[in-house]
Structure 1
Amino acid sequence: MENALIIGASGGIGSAVAAELERRGVAVTGLSRSEDNLDVTDEASVERVLGALDGPFDLVFCATGALRIGGAAPEKTIRRLDPDAMRDQFMVNAVGPAMVLKHAIRLVPRRQRAVMAVLSARVGSIGDNGLGGWYSYRTAKAAVNQVVHTAAVEFARSHRHLACVALHPGTVETPFTEGYSDSHPTVAPARAAERLCDVFERLGPEHTGRFYDYAFEEIPW
């Protein structure tokens, strides 16, 4: 990889991945809401900010996402399900990455290896769900997985060397997971970034449209 575009570069995972890529000699362009006024839930914002870039980028990584939005905690029971909270989760965790894929594909080279990766979560796996709960977040992540898979089918027609994938980074020690990681082993952002960058380097077109974790193990849909 030579040139990377990181969406959500001011977040815990995004900033750590940007730093790790730079350590590996990759030129990084980082975009975020705080630094670039990029709101992934607003298509006009995505089109404006990404439209100002020339590329090409052989890595596009969408590291945006949220677990708790507007004070709404993950639901432990369907009785706590709130339509506004569910809508917020879809906008941030599904619609946002979808808009990034829509407007970033023009920045990806057609005739050489490239990677488009979206930050997902294992809890978005329907096949791996044995605990229940977290309705809005789980459903939004399942939705973004479908967006990634469907986009990969389309992109393969024009970008034959592209891997378009969903990635689970593990439970990373960031404000995002604070208060929700008691039952899961956590890793520092720098270590999570190392593992994700190792996955980036291994991805090829034969992996497109799939869902992987930080150890490059495939996760069921």
Structure 2
Amino acid sequence: MAALERAGAAASSGAMDRALIIGASGGIGSAVSAELSRRGVEVTGLSRSSDGLDVTDDASVERHLSALEGPFDLVFCATGALEIDGAAPEKTIKRLEPEAMLAQLRLNAIGPALVLKHAIRLVPRASPAVMATLSARVGSIGDNAIGGWYSYRTAKAAVNQVIRSAAIEFGRSHRHLACVALHPGTVETAFTEKYADSHPTVDAGTAARRLVDVMEGLTADHTGRFFDYAFKEIPW
């Protein structure tokens, strides 16, 4: 079913010429940038470490994005973190710390929301485009069967709601836009090494190839939805 959906989508989607990657210096962001460049896409990247972009600060996001000229066929927000300031995911609610939860919400939910707020002017209205945000399967309420990870799960669930709402709003003015959440799988990083357990992991290059395959297949029919790296839909 997923393969048929991918094939049908790819047949009707527009080719990507220009992409904007937010969080381009991170593991997934840099790998997606490289993969897009390999496929002949002109990539513009922004990040905190290279450009001083702070996605949690509205003025910073507005300043950096207002300096760009569109249109971009793809805007991909690859920012986020599993651990912030050493605060590990909570195995029990007894370990929940308000400041740690707020930090997760600022980076993993408010940050991508601000990107959507200021980047919508950079995507075309009359031709196909994609606005994709890196989410995580653990943000799915419907898929949550084991609990735990309160702050990270909550932040990812929040960004999923932002994406769903933005897709509805953007659909009124950008009828050819796909605004989606994407789950990359468990990507090998220093942070995920501690939490992978028995979950299969992939290197950043493999994750990037799979994500770009999905993004190339997206159309307006997919907007407001949540997909994994194999183009399988994840419940909200």
TM range (shorter): over 0.9
Residue 104 of structure 1 is matched in structure 2 by 119
Pair 112,176 (structure 1): closer, same or farther in 2 beyond 3 Å: farther
Q: How many matched pairs?
A: 221
Q: CA deviation at 1:8?
A: 0.3
Q: CA deviation at 1:33?
A: 0.2
Return 5+ residue gaps in structure 2 as ranges: 1-15
Matches within 5 A, 1:31-180: 31-180=46-195
1:65-90 per-position Cα deviation (integer Å, ceiling 9, x unaligned): 01100111000000001100000000
Q: Partners in 1 of 2:130 and 2:146 — Cα distance?
A: 32
Q: Partners in 1 of 2:23 and 2:75 — Cα distance?
A: 11
Which amino acid in 1 is paired with 2:79?
Answer: T
Q: Using structure 2 for the length normalisation, give the TM-score.
A: 0.93
Cα root mean square deviation, aligned: 0.6
Q: Partners in 1 of 2:159 and 2:30 — Cα distance?
A: 22
Matches within 5 A, 1:9-28: 9-28=24-43
Q: CA deviation at 1:202?
A: 0.6
Q: Partners in 1 of 2:196 and 2:25 — Cα distance?
A: 21
Which amino acid in 2 is paired with 1:180?
Answer: Y
Q: Partners in 1 of 2:20 and 2:42 — Cα distance?
A: 9
Which amino acid in 2 is paired with 1:47?
Answer: E
Q: Using structure 1 for the length normalisation, give the TM-score.
A: 0.99
Give the secondary structure class of the aligned counterpart of 2:194: coil
Find out whether 1:182 has 2:209 as its counterpart: no
Find out whether 1:216 has 2:210 as its counterpart: no
Q: Partners in 2 of 1:176 and 1:125 — Cα distance?
A: 21
Consecutive aligned runs of 4 or more in structure 1 exceeding 2 Å deviation: none
